[in-house]
Amino acid sequence: MADMAVHNAHPPGFAHQFEDMEQQREAGSLGMWVFLLTEMMFFGGLFATYIVYRALYLPSFEIGSHLLEVKFGALNTAVLIGSSLTMALAIHSAQIGKRGAPVGFLIATMILGATFLFIKFTFEWRHDYIEHLVPGFGFVIRPEWGAPGAHVPMFFCFYFFMTGLHALHMIIGIGILAVLTVMAHRRRFTPDYYSPLEVSGLYWHFVDIIWIFLFPLLYLIGGRYPGGGH
């Protein structure tokens, strides 16, 4: 993908090793899919670990989960879905050749992404820190958790590592979007050449999908109804 961006220096964005633009576009798209495959296994290793410990320590994971605010998780899900929509619309506007339109949609996507991170860090992580729920930073096991309390820190380990890794991907994504915005502003994209947009879109949607799974796995374990999971 970095390649695509750099090769763009040649006016139509064409790189010498390819036969034609069609081959180049297909290669770029397939390359991103293969990259997403590796991302999937990267998160997959983490999800597998999570699944094993969730099976072993379900009551502890339920206690941990109930300490998270569902409203923030759900709100953030909606924000991310919205950003996926604006991303798709950005590509759409480039496809139909609406001049200048990708810029607006890209900026909207970045703003929504930043909103997600803002909610995550200031409302959730900061709150957890104050409540002594960050392992390694003064985590306090509360007596009212009883026996399963011993493994609540493990849940929070997974929570911070998984959401942190996801947030890192978001930050990288916002960086890519910033580059795309500049390119779009300089009228680089045409209905014949919008590969960088398309490929970055795949990445952005993938990060969205990761969150679609993280939300129920972290926030909704064992149900939120009174006495759920106990």
Is 172 a binding residue for other proteins by CB under 8 A? The answer is: no
Q: Residues 19, 120: contact at Cβ < 8 Å?
A: no
- State the minimum distance, in angstroms, from the CB of residue 106 to other proteins: 15
Q: How far is the CB of 61 from other proteins (least distance, A)?
A: 11
Q: Which stretch binds other proteins (CB under 8 A): 20-28, 109-117, 124-132, 175-183?
A: 20-28
Count the Cβ atoms, other than its own, within 10 Å of residue 25.
19
Q: Is 44 in the site for other proteins (CB under 8 A)?
A: yes
Which residue type occupies 96? I
Amino acid at 4: M
Q: Which stretch binds other proteins (CB under 8 A): 2-10, 108-116, 119-127, 178-186?
A: 2-10
Q: Does 144 bind other proteins (CB under 8 A)?
A: no
Site for other proteins in 183-202 (CB under 8 A): 191-192, 194, 198, 201-202
Report the distance separating Cα 53 and Cα 50, nearest Å. 5
For other proteins, which stretch binds (CB under 8 A), given 15-23, 115-123, 125-133, 176-184? Answer: 15-23
DSSP string, 102-120: HHHHHHHHHHHHHHHHHII
- C-alpha distances in Å from residue 185, one per residue of 86, 110, 180: 17, 15, 8
**108-127 residues near other proteins, rule: CB under 8 A:** none
Q: How far is CA 121 from CA 96, 124, 126, in A?
A: 37, 6, 6
If you compute the radius of gyration of the chain from its CA atoms, what whole number of angstroms results?
21
Q: How far is the CB of 150 from other proteins (least distance, A)?
A: 7
- Token pair of 136, please? 């390694």
Which one, 92 or 127, has the nearer CB to other proteins?
A: 92
Chain residues 47-106 in contact with other proteins, contact rule CB under 8 A: 47-49, 51-58, 70, 74, 77-78, 81-82, 84-85, 87-89, 92, 95-96
Least spacing, CB of residue 186 vs other proteins, in Å: 20
